[in-house]
Each structure stands twice: as structure tokens, then as C-alpha cells.
């Protein structure tokens, strides 16, 4: 039986999730992942990986709910299994605190995390500069473990990996029947998506194994996420800032703000610093177009622009992208390549 | 020294005493014998400072002169050490000199407190022991206040959230108002734990003995509390050597000092595991198996403590392979991710179990004399949970003893 050759561009959390979705669901497809960067050098590898969505302005809420719910359920099943430590997926509880009471006290995702509630007065006492807080249990998914685990899963169903930077999709389309574009920030150049822009984030890795609960300031600029190997503290949100070098002033600011929220951090040892560029976009782009190559119509499914919600929405958007692929293969069965 | 005696002579001639003190008249022979008995000389600077102030007001209470108080604490687990701390905090400035000594054959890291997970949680229900609920809450509030201090990490204190799972609906536990963010578990949460149909979620404190005890010992040593590595055979032994008050914090072996049929060991065995992805504690409650005889998983700052068994009457300190197997199987069923965790160690401890904590005074006759004992033992599996409340109560009882001996001033001339 002729195999449909699918190529996934990008091996970050979105690329590998998409590849695994396709490879495990469509047995008649062969899946190849082509990317320049692999774990531990992808953007997701530095991210704390806490599942915490934000609301995008132009995507129907129902679709956003589905993206998050499916990602959450998928990772929960892993957290509940013997695979949890290999995959780096586990439950994480904590506090989301606000200096000013937010308009949306109960966001759309509150029903999908566990035990969502407002913080009690006693709990708020720890944060005298904050007026309101939400407490809940969500999941943490550490790409340093998760990406290699996904890669193993991909190979187990015959998926292939090629380490190469892709610069020309038309050329790629000569050798494949379908392309999934999961190139993150790279989409800006690869498909000329001018809506894609970096939001620079700097973080510190500290050793503070006594910290178990996360704390995130609702303004997005200060967070403490206890992880397996270290605690991720941060952060910054610098739009259109392409710098990958560590900025000392940013580090000082991060330490100062985080120690104020969690005084015991003063006893913590800094293990390292990291900078990542969130592949941001007003809304994630999960849609399909066709490339016209040598008389063939090659489906090009986009799955990029997740910004700070890559891990959070990876599985849900991968399932959406899979559906778009499935539809296009059905509507326009691939023709023979020359 | 001789000029001191001369000075006291002159002092004694011009002294008067307030009636409230009910103290003796200081005649020169009395002063001399008091000075000889006292450790006052050793604390010369303090004595001089106090007395100079006193001279100005020409009043002195006998308390400063006749207050040689020697307290001997038996036991250096969390109860013994925290009791020493409370006594020091309340009385070191009111009684001079106050000598506090701790006698134990076992010190950190080998005490029962060291092996325990360090998890603040009383038993689900206090069965009418409302005092214990009060002491538990007092301890929680105290530890919570320490959390924001720069010492919190050195004390081994931190917050952790988690799950109390029950096989059937149960009434709210005694600690629901003490802990943070107490709520019932939702059905979706319970779905994660097959076999458990009800439960609670809350945030509580961890207080790790292996860190807390060394911190307490440092704190005490800095304040001149002396430690003696020695097994005490009887209360009388200490009384004969000059102890004025003995505080019995000897835990599970208190029966060796004074028979107590209500005190029994409740053997516990735990497995220490490396599983740093676990960030919540999980305790299960099965009314048919009884408290702590059901799996529990409690992550610490470095390792995870997995248990449990609660074997009343079992004095064996040996790790049992049968217990290990049962504990491990039950825990892996509860938390599948444990299957890939690295097992580091096993440990066995004896919970000093009693129908209720024994925290009382006792006057023991020894021939023509008598001495005071304060008992503070029988804290079962909640010693760390209740320690501060009990230490403060023991200090209060100690204060009663001091008052009865007329050693505490009610009105002090300086103030």
C-alpha cells in the first residue's frame, strides 16, 4: 500500500507532538521530522512547562477550551502512569496572584485544572502587595525529559528524524505528500509570517528543593516554578527583542522580585541562566493551505505561533493539525510525485 | 572574691524588701551562705549590673540572689530540645542563673524525630483531646510565622500541598482550620486515586527533623545549654546530682524511668526514595486498617518518605523485608510513577504512642526531700506536629513550680 509521506518541520514541543499524533493515528502515513534544533536546544527546553493558558483574542473560545482540555487530559494520563518520570510530567499546585483584581477572576481554563478556587485571606497574608489570588493544581511538563520521550514514541511507530535546517518549503514539497509547519519563531522567515515575533524571556535556574508550590504573578513578569532538577524563576517579557544573551540587569530584577515573593529563595544557589524567545503571535496559527508544486497540490498545515503556551497547548493543537491533515488527504488524495 | 563579700555585707545592711516578694531578711550569714550556694559569682558582670541598679533604688528581691535553678531535660528528640527552648525563652531573664542541661543517649540524626517524614498533620480526629488540638494549632501557627524568617531553610520548614484520601465519606478532620486552603477533593481529582472515594486537599507545613534538630541544638548551645551523652537510669539519679526540676522527654522509652502501661511503641517502617518530580504528599486513610497502617507518600526537601505501618507493641528496630514489600507495592499502586524511582534507604522508628499525651507535673518523694518532674511524652506519630504547643505548656508548668518555690518576682523594682 502506498505510504503517504508526511514531513514535520520543527522538533520543538509542537513539532514532536504533531509528528507523534500523525504517526500514531494515521498508519498509512510515514512521518519524518526535519529540524535544525533538537532537545536540549529548543525553546521549550528552557521553559518551565507549566500548563497555564491565556486567552487569545480571535480564536473561538470553544476551540481554545478544546486545545487546553486535550493537552491537559493527554498529559494527565502520562502523569498518572509509570511513564511520568521518564516523560517529565507531574502535578504541580500553586498560587496565581494579582496586585489588582483582574477583570476575569475565573478564566476559561479554570474548569480544566484541578480544584480551582480563590485564595483565602490567610493564604494572601504571605503576599502583602497583592490583593487577589487563585489557587489550583495543574500539570508541569518538562521538555528536557518530554521531548526525548516523544522522540522515542515517534521512533517506536517508525518515525524518522533528520537534522537539517529547512529554508525552502517548495523544495521540501518535491519529496513529500504533506508538510506540517511547526517551525515556531522560524515561521517568520520560512513562510514569511510577519505576524510572528519574538517575546524574549530570561530565567534563572536555582537550587531550592524545599520549594514545592508554584507562585506566578498575574502580570506575567514574576514566577517561581519548582521543577525536577531545579526551580525556574523569572522572568521577562520583551517584545521584538531578539537577544539570546543573558542580561545581568534582568537577572538582578528577577532575583529581587522573586525573593520578595518567596524570601527563602535568598538561601538558594543560582545554578544557571537561560534566555528563550517565545514564538509569539496575536493568535496561534493552526490552519491549512496548499502549495502548488509541479502540478501537485501539497497540503501545508501550519501549527505555530503558540507564544508562551507551547507546552500548554501542544497536544490539543497537534490534534487539530492532524485533523486538518486528515481532511486534506481525504479531499485531495496525494498524486504521484515525479 | 573577697571584695564581693564585703560589698554584699554593706548591701545587706541597707536593704529592704518588698512585702510582695515575701522574701527573707538578708542578714550577713544568710548572704554568705546564699552567695556560696549560688553561681552568682560566675555571672559577675550581670550581678554587678543588677545590683548597681538595685542600689540606686535600694531595693532588691531575693529572687536575684536565691534563684539557682537547675533544670535537667531527659531526651534530645524534638520534644526535649523544644522544651529546653521554651523554658529558656520564658525564664532566662527572670531566673538567674538558670542552668538548663539535656541528657540523652541518642542525639540527632539518630532520634525518632530524625527518621520521621517531618509532615505536620495530627491524626484525623482528636477523640475529645481538645488540648492536643490546641497544641497542634499553636505549633502550626508558630512554624508558619517562622516561614518568613531568614532562618526558615535552616530550620527545615517549608510549605507543601497534598491529598488526604479516604475509602468512604468522613467528617471534617480536627486540623481543618489550622492548615491552609482546606477543601474537599473534587470527583476529577478522586479519579486519579482508584479505590478512594472521598478526601481533602490542603497546604500544610513540613518540618524536617534532620534539619530542625541540629538547628535547635545550635540555638540552645549558643545560649549555654549543656548537652550530656548519657543514658539516665532514674529520675532520682538526676535529682541526687543536683537537679531541681527534671523534664521527662524520653519518648517511647519513658517506661524505663517510670512504668506506664498506657505507653506503647507503634512501630513504623519507611522507605526513602529519590523521586524529585513528586511535589505533593498523599496520605490514605482506611478505617479498617487504622491510622498510618495505610500507604502514604511524603516528599521531603531531598527524598520522598514512603510508608506506612503502625504496629502497636512491636519493639523491633530492624527493617523488615515483608513490611518493605507491602509498603512498596501499596505505594506504587497509589502513585504509579514511583515504579521508576530509585530506592535509597529503609528506616524503622518507634512512635511513642499513648491514649493521650502525658504532659503533667509530678512531685516525687525521695527520702526526706522531694523533687519536681514534668512529664512530656507520648506524642505518638505527631511529635513534630505538636511539639511547640507542648513545649510551651511544659514551660508553663515549670513556671508554676517556680512560683510555688517563690522564685518568681511579681513586682520587680527595676520595671
Average of per-residue pLDDT values in chain A: 96
First to last CA, chain B: 29
- What pLDDT digit, counting tens, does each position of B340-362 carry? 899 999 999 999 999 999 999 99
Identify any residues that bridge with B363 across adjacent strands, giving them in sequence order.
B372
DSSP B252: G
Tell whether the torsion through CA atoms of A61, A62, A65 and A71 is positive or negative. Answer: negative
Residue B289 lies in a domain: yes
pLDDT at A2: 57
Per-residue pLDDT, B410: 58
- Residue B51 lies inside a defined structural domain of this protein: no
Measured between CB atoms, does B342 come within 8 Å of chain A?
no
Is residue B148 situated within a structural domain?
A: yes
Tens of pLDDT, residues A76-101:
999 999 999 999 999 999 999 999 99
CB A226 within 8 A of CB A211: yes
Residues on chain B touching A118 (C-beta within 8 angstroms): none
The complex scores an ipTM of 0.95
- Among B89, B84, B47, B90, CA closest to B68: B47
Task: Specify whether the CB–CB gap between B237 and B366 falls below 8 A.
Answer: no
Q: Look at residue B391 in the predicted model and tell me its pLDDT.
A: 98
Distance separating alpha carbons of residues A220 and A198, to the nearest angstrom? 16
Q: What is the bridge-based pairing of β-strands A29-35 and A160-163?
A: parallel
**Is B154 in Cβ contact with A267 (below 8 Å)?**
yes
The reply to whether B25 falls in a domain is no
State the DSSP code for B351: E
B156 vs A contacts (CB less than 8 Å): 210
Pairing of strands B69-74, B245-248: parallel
Smallest CA–CA separation between B284 and chain A, in Å? 17
Residues of chain A with Cβ-Cβ distance to B159 below 8 Å are: 212-213
Chain B contact for A207 (CB, 8 A cutoff): no
Residue from A78, A9, A11, A10 nearest A39 by CA: A11
Each residue's pLDDT tens digit, A7-53 = 999 999 999 999 999 999 999 999 999 999 999 999 999 999 999 99
A124 touching B, CB under 8 A? no
Q: Let me know: does B301 contact B158? Beta carbons within 8 Å.
A: yes
Q: Flag whether B30 is in a domain.
A: no
B32 occurs within a structural domain: no
The residues in A 267-306 lying below 8 A from B, measured between CB atoms, are 267
Check CB contact under 8 Å for B160 and A266: no
Closest CA to B387 of B212, B128, B159: B212
Q: Residue A198 pairs with which residues in a beta bridge?
A: A279
How many domains are contained in chain B? 1
Counting one residue from chain A and one from chain B, the pairs whose CB atoms sit within 8 A come to 92
Nearest to B168 by CA among B334, B283, B285: B285
> What is the span of the domain harbouring residue B104?
69-405
Which CATH number goes with the domain that contains B117? 3.40.50.720
Q: Do B277 and A263 touch (CB under 8 A)?
A: no
Q: Say if strands A214-217 and A223-226 run parallel, antiparallel, or are unpaired.
A: antiparallel
User: For residue B55, is it within any domain?
Assistant: no
pLDDT of residue B287: 82
Residue B80 is assigned to a structural domain of this protein: yes
pLDDT of residue B412: 46
Poorest-confidence range of A83-87, A119-123, A138-142, B59-63?
A: B59-63
Residue A307 C-alpha, separation from nearest chain B C-alpha, in angstroms? 26
Q: Are residues A33 and A19 in contact, defined by beta-carbon separation less than 8 angstroms?
A: yes
Residue stretches of the annotated binding site of B for D-dopa: 121, 285, 296, 351, 381
Question: Going residue by residue through chain B (415 aa), what tens digit of pLDDT does each one get?
Answer: 444 444 444 444 444 433 333 344 444 444 444 444 444 433 333 333 444 444 444 334 444 445 689 999 999 999 999 999 999 999 999 998 999 999 999 999 999 999 999 999 999 998 889 999 999 999 999 999 999 899 999 999 999 999 999 999 999 999 999 999 999 999 999 999 999 999 999 999 999 999 999 999 999 999 999 999 999 999 999 999 999 999 999 999 999 999 999 999 999 999 999 999 999 999 999 988 888 889 999 999 999 999 989 999 999 999 999 999 999 999 999 999 999 899 999 999 999 999 999 999 999 998 888 999 999 999 999 999 999 999 999 999 999 999 999 888 654 444 3
Amino acid at each position: 500500500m502506498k505510504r503517504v509521506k508526511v514531513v514535520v518541520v520543527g522538533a520543538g514541543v509542537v513539532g514532536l507532538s504533531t509528528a507523534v499524533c500523525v504517526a500514531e493515528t494515521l498508519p498509512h502515513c510515514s512521518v519524518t521530522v526535519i529540524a535544525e534544533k533538537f532537545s536540549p536546544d529548543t525553546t521549550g527546553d528552557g521553559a518551565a512547562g507549566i500548563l497555564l493558558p491565556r486567552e487569545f483574542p480571535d480564536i473561538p473560545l470553544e476551540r481554545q477550551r478544546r486545545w487546553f482540555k486535550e493537552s491537559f487530559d493527554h498529559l494527565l494520563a502520562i502523569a498518572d502512569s509509570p511513564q511520568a518520570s521518564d516523560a517529565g510530567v507531574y502535578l504541580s499546585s500553586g498560587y496565581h496572584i494579582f496586585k489588582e483584581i483582574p477583570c476575569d477572576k475565573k478564566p476559561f481554563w479554570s474548569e480544566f485544572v484541578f480544584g480551582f478556587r480563590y485564595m483565602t485571606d490567610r493564604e494572601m497574608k504571605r503576599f502583602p502587595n497583592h490583593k487577589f489570588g487563585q489557587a489550583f493544581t495543574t500539570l508541569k511538563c518538562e521538555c528536557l525529559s518530554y521531548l526525548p520521550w516523544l522522540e522515542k514514541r515517534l521512533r517506536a511507530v517508525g518515525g524518522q528524524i533528520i537534522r537539517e535546517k529547512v529554508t525552502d518549503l517548495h523544495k521540501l514539497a518535491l519529496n513529500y505528500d504533506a508538510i506540517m509547519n511547526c517551525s515556531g519563531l522560524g515561521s517568520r522567515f520560512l513562510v514569511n509570517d510577519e505576524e510572528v515575533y519574538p517575546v524574549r524571556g530570561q530565567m534563572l535556574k536555582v537550587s531550592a528543593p524545599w520549594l514545592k508550590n508554584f507562585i506566578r504573578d498575574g502580570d506575567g513578569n514574576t514566577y517561581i516554578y519548582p521543577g525536577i532538577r531545579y526551580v525556574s524563576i523569572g522572568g521577562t517579557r520583551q517584545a521584538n527583542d531578539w537577544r539570546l544573551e543573558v542580561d545581568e540587569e534582568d537577572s538582578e530584577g528577577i532575583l529581587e522580585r522573586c525573593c520578595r515573593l518567596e524570601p527563602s529563595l535568598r538561601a538558594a544557589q543560582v545554578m544557571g541562566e537561560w534566555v528563550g524567545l517565545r514564538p509569539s503571535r496575536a493568535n496561534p496559527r493552526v490552519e491549512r493551505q496548499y502549495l502548488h508544486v509541479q502540478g501537485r497540490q501539497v497540503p501545508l498545515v501550519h501549527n505555530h505561533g503558540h507564544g508562551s503556551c507551547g507546552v500548554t497547548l501542544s497536544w490539543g493543537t497537534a490534534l487539530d493539525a492532524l485533523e486538518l491533515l486528515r481532511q486534506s488527504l481525504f479531499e485531495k488524495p496525494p498524486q504521484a510525485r515525479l | 572574691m573577697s571584695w564581693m563579700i564585703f560589698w554584699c555585707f554593706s548591701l545587706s545592711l541597707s536593704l529592704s524588701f518588698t512585702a510582695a516578694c515575701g522574701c527573707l531578711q538578708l542578714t550577713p550569714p544568710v548572704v554568705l551562705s546564699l552567695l556560696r550556694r549560688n553561681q552568682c559569682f560566675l555571672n559577675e558582670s550581670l550581678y554587678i549590673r543588677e545590683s548597681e541598679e538595685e542600689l540606686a533604688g535600694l531595693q532588691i528581691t531575693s529572687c536575684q540572689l536565691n534563684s539557682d535553678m537547675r533544670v535537667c531535660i531527659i531526651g534530645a528528640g524534638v520534644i526535649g530540645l523544644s522544651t529546653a527552648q521554651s523554658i529558656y525563652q520564658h525564664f532566662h531573664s527572670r531566673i538567674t542563673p538558670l542552668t538548663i542541661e539535656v541528657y540523652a543517649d541518642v542525639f540527632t540524626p539518630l532520634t525518632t524525630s530524625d527518621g520521621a517524614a517531618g509532615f505536620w498533620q495530627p491524626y484525623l480526629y482528636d477523640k475529645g483531646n481538645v488540648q492536643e488540638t490546641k497544641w497542634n494549632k499553636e505549633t502550626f501557627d508558630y512554624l508558619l510565622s517562622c516561614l518568613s524568617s531568614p532562618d526558615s531553610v535552616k530550620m527545615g520548614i517549608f510549605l507543601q500541598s497534598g491529598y488526604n484520601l479516604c475509602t468512604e465519606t468522613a467528617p471534617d478532620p480536627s486540623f481543618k482550620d489550622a492548615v491552609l486552603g482546606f477543601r474537599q477533593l473534587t470527583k476529577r481529582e478522586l479519579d486519579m486515586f482508584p479505590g478512594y472515594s472521598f478526601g481533602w486537599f490542603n497546604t500544610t507545613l513540613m518540618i524536617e527533623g534532620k534539619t530542625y534538630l541540629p538547628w535547635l541544638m545550635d540555638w540552645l548551645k549558643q545560649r549555654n545549654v549543656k548537652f550530656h551523652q548519657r543514658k539516665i537510669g532514674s529520675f532520682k539519679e538526676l535529682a541526687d546530682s543536683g537537679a531541681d526540676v527534671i523534664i521527662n522527654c524520653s519518648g517511647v522509652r519513658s517506661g524505663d524511668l517510670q512504668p506506664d502501661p498506657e505507653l506503647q511503641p507503634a512501630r513504623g517502617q519507611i522507605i526513602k526514595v529519590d523521586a524529585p518530580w513528586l511535589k505533593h504528599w498523599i496520605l490514605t486513610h482506611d478505617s479498617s486498617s487504622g491510622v498510618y497502617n495505610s500507604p502514604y507518600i511524603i516528599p521531603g526537601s531531598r527524598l520522598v518518605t514512603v510508608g506506612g505501618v503502625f504496629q502497636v507493641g512491636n519493639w523491633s528496630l530492624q527493617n523488615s523485608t515483608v513490611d518493605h514489600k507491602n509498603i512498596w507495592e501499596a505505594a506504587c499502586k497509589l502513585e504509579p510513577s514511583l515504579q521508576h524511582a530509585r530506592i535509597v534507604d529503609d528506616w524503622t522508628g518507634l512512635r511513642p504512642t499513648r491514649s493521650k499525651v502525658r504532659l503533667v507535673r509530678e512531685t516525687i518523694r525521695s527520702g526526706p526531700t522531694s523533687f519536681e518532674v514534668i512529664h512530656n511524652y507520648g506524642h505518638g506519630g505527631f511529635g513534630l506536629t505538636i511539639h511547640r504547643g507542648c513545649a510551651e505548656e511544659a514551660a508553663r508548668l515549670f513556671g508554676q513550680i517556680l512560683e510555688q518555690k517563690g522564685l518568681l518576682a511579681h513586682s520587680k523594682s527595676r520595671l
